[in-house]
Amino acid sequence: MSAAPRRTSANSAPTTTTAVESVTISAVGDTDLGNTPVLPSDPTAYLQPVKAALQGPIVFANFEGTMTNATTSKCAPTSTNCYAFRNPPSDAQVLRSIGFTVINSANNHSHDYGSQGAADTTAALASAGLVQAGLPGQIGTVSDGTTKVAFVDFAPYSNTNNMLDFAIAKSLILQAKSEANLVVVYMHAGAEGSNADHVSGSEETYVGEDRGNAKTFAHAAIDDGADLVIASGPHVLRGMEEYGGHLIAYSLGNFCGYENFSTSGTLSLSGILTVTLNSNGVLTAGHFTSLLLTGAGQPTIDSSGAAARFVNQLSSTDFGASGVSILPSGQISVPAPAS
């Protein structure tokens, strides 16, 4: 990234006086390995094309579904517009073997199979050594060397950390600041589909649901002490913005979606965001790896950089001078914060 001067908000300093090292975090968006019984024959091979790009100390994904053998879903037997996603608990081990270390459950599919499905998912993730975040009151904490990083994940639902309740969100972020050196906030926010690629700056809805105001929430999260904000949920990429000396990635799109997500047009574009933060939570290096979803929603490295160009277009249109740029090399260039 560029070495432009930066401003860091006063509340972004670590909560301890112990010297901490810089930390590197990779993140992807909505991750779905099919829906029982429609599953990849070999889920490890399905993710193999991107495994090398996911090898790092901290690798995050939003898992869009459940890992359970439960059979009673939220959908009525005759429903034609209800989606409930179920994967075998063994998929947790698959995600760990590919390189993931932190999994988000703050989304609209974490309770597709009720409380039993949610509990089974938690158990599967724990058994695989994966850190979970996003259920009510849940903060996921992971370390890179001497640096402890807290993930505080939100979605616009009462059965997750609820992003519609700003008081609760602030309380959780402050709690995370007291428990870790750095805080990453994830939000599952915004409308869905190819027409939802822009950050509106207003409350967004989808299928009658209040999906939150992504920009207002992200800014508030940084004001409350978050060092990085990442997001997905719209199932399409969105732009990236500098705010208060910190990075906001408004949607990382779909990372994978075996036979579940549309891959037409811009919905086929995805990416891996990798950032290095210093001890003050300031971005010191960043890279965006462009991906293309092919076949049955399989992620592959895209050397053409189409996803990066799309994100650049959105960042410029939606955020102007505060928009983040991705260079042809994939390197991230962040503008100097406004004085």
Amino acid, res. 193: G
Residue at token pair 């992620």: 299
CA-nearest of 212, 251, 199, 197 to 229 is 251
Contact between 133 and 149 (Cβ < 8 Å): no
DSSP structure class, residue 46: H
3-state secondary structure of 44: helix
Tokens encoding 199: 């950050």
Burial class (CB in 10 A: 0-12, 13-18, 19+), 167: exposed
CA distance 337 to 242: 7
Rounded Cα gap, residues 147 and 256, in angstroms: 30
Alpha-carbon distance of 20 to 8, in angstroms, equals: 17
User: Domain 10-75+82-333 is in which class?
Assistant: alpha beta
Please state at what angle helix 166-179 crosses helix 214-223, rounded to 10 degrees.
40
pLDDT, tens digit only, all 339 positions of the chain: 333 322 223 333 344 445 568 999 999 999 999 999 999 999 999 999 999 999 889 999 999 999 999 999 999 888 878 889 999 999 999 999 999 999 999 999 999 999 999 999 999 999 999 999 999 999 999 999 889 999 999 999 999 999 999 999 999 999 999 999 999 999 999 999 999 999 999 999 999 999 999 999 999 999 999 999 999 999 999 999 999 999 999 999 999 999 888 889 999 999 999 999 998 899 999 999 999 999 899 999 999 999 999 999 999 999 999 999 999 999 999 988 776
What's the alpha-carbon Rg for the chain, to the nearest Å? 18
Q: Which two tokens mark 211?
A: 């999906």
- Transcribe 62-78 into DSSP letters: EE-SEE------SS-TT
Cβ contacts of 43 within 8 Å, gap of 6 or more: 33, 34, 91, 94, 258
Give the containing element (helix H, strand E) for 215: helix 214-223
pTM (2 decimals)? 0.92
Contacts of 45 (CB under 8 A, 6+ apart): none
What three-state secondary structure class fits 177? helix
Under 8 Å between Cβ of 214 and 199: yes
CB atoms within 10 A of CB 166: 14
pLDDT for the residue 140: 98
